[in-house]
Amino acid sequence: MFKCLILLVVLAVVSAEIHRIKIHKTQPKKSHHVARHIAKKVAIHVLKHELRHWVGETFNYDDGYDYSNDYPNQDTDYTNEELGNSMNMYYYGEISIGTPPQYFNVVFDTGSANLWIPSVQCLSTDVACQQHNQYNSSASSTFVAVNENFTIEYGTGSVKGYLATDTVTINGLAITGQTFGEAISQPGSSFTDVEFDGILGMGFQQIAIDYVVPPFYNLYEQGLIDQPVFGFYLARNGTSDEGGQLTLGGTDYNLIDGDLTYVPVTKQGYWQFAVNQITWNGTVVSGPVQAIADTGTSLIVVPADAYTKINELIGAIYIQGEWYVPCSTVDSLPVITFNFGGTNFDLPPSVYIQTYNEGEYDSCVSTFSYIGTEFWILGDVFLGQFYTEFDFGQNRVGFGNLA
């Protein structure tokens, strides 16, 4: 009996093995103006074709479930992949596709649901494609043709190409028969001069182009992870090698201080949830309002009725498309508080105002942006302050203070 107990303990330890997905970051080498341009063109790609289904809609959700219970428990097996961070503008990690593996950096994007990467068949005039790694189907023994085109609409144009099926591997977890997009044409300059090759969507299948099954669904359905849960830690000032971590299949409690606050998803598609109130120094900025947690958006996107209000409250002045704040006032500004799930989540001014060095002087710029939505998009500026868990199994999003 004792030998059996020891065996069970050993098996439990093996089952709880942690796999980490590394997030990468590029150190800022560009001026404020160039950095902000890159930030916006990457952030605003959230204006995908499916966005039109969300603007102007309000959702209520109550399934009667008690979300106060922790789920999953600390013994759950999970996989962690470390991520990279590019100028605090976007976070990306490495995957491979095909046999033998072909390697790509992708943004793990909770604001979309498709995987696409550049194709070796892309146009010679496609600058973005020529700058990045390209998938060669003829070099993979596990490639299967789908014989179907795909198009993903972005705010600046369309990504077009073919659907393909192959083995997609994330940190050693090999998904067989994963359908993805081979992009032969990318829009304008939206994906030029960026560190990632493509996008790996982690939203719900309801917003996937052609209703393709997202990679995370297959990770769970093929038994590669134990729980339909993933979480992000986004290091805000990390290096290209220490940009944060993506956890697959469970919760990494080593990254969390205290308990997670869970809120139910109000409609499956994006990771959308209800925010009770957003306040700044006692002034109500917005609420009740809907918000989405989007790792594919760099900034904080604000509805029209709150956009000018919040920027004026923080003392920003609108100059040539940007809201500038006097750098001398930043340290004395109050926090902005987001209340949801019965918990306050504070962002200090050093977070919601970004400082760029211009050689002999600094520029301080508001991260509150507007792109035409009627809900808030909590991008990396917000998510980088917390551990964020996305739970397909219980249809909820969890937020916790970082350890």
Confidence of residue 357 (pLDDT cuts 50, 70, 90): confident
Q: pLDDT tens for residues 132-168?
A: 999 999 999 999 999 999 998 876 668 999 999 999 9
Q: pLDDT tens for residues 206-244?
A: 999 999 999 999 999 999 999 999 999 998 765 556 778
pLDDT at 25: 55
Q: Are 262 and 397 in contact (CB under 8 A)?
A: yes
Residue, of 63 and 218, whose pLDDT is higher: 218
* CATH code, residues 27-402: 2.40.70.10
pLDDT at 52: 38
Helices (H), 314-368: 349-352
Alpha carbons within 13 angstroms on the beta-carbon side of residue 181 total: 30
Q: What 3-state DSSP class applies to 137?
A: helix
Please compute the mean of the pLDDT values over residues 12-28 and round it to a whole number: 52
Q: pLDDT tens for residues 374-395?
A: 999 999 999 999 999 999 999 9
Q: How far is CA 343 from CA 250, 297, 398, in A?
A: 22, 23, 11
Q: How far is CA 202 from CA 105, 182, 226, 274, 310, in A?
A: 15, 18, 17, 20, 30
Distance from C-alpha of 196 to C-alpha of 174, rounded to nearest angstrom: 21
Q: Are 215 and 96 in contact (CB under 8 A)?
A: no
Distance from C-alpha of 48 to C-alpha of 112, rounded to nearest angstrom: 8
Q: Are 268 and 207 in contact (CB under 8 A)?
A: no
Distance from C-alpha of 95 to C-alpha of 310, rounded to nearest angstrom: 39
Please compute the mean of the pLDDT values over residues 21-42 and round it to a whole number: 51
Distance from C-alpha of 159 to C-alpha of 103, rounded to nearest angstrom: 20
Record the tokens describing residue 119, joined without a space.
Answer: 């194709």
Which of 282, 378, 389, 398 is closest to 336 using CA atoms?
A: 282
Domain map (residue ranges) of the chain: 27-402
pLDDT at 360: 83
Which DSSP category does 258 fall into? E
Q: What angle do CA 262, 268, 271 make, to 5 degrees?
A: 50
- Verify whether residue 294 is a known catalytic residue: yes
Q: What angle do CA 295, 152, 158 make, to 5 degrees?
A: 110
- Verify whether residue 362 is a known catalytic residue: no
Which of 358, 355, 357, 354 is closest to 368 using CA atoms?
A: 354
Q: pLDDT tens for residues 251-295?
A: 999 999 999 999 999 999 999 999 999 999 999 999 999 999 999
Report the chain's mean pLDDT, rounded to a whole number: 82
pLDDT at 358: 75
- Phi-psi category of residue 129: left, alpha or beta, with phi > 0 → left and psi -120 to 50 → alpha: alpha
197, 226, 252, 294: the active-site residue: 294
109, 166, 197, 252: the active-site residue: 109
pLDDT at 74: 42
Among residues of the chain, what percentage have pLDDT more than 90?
65
Please compute the mean of the pLDDT values over residues 188-208 and round it to a whole number: 90
pLDDT at 59: 32
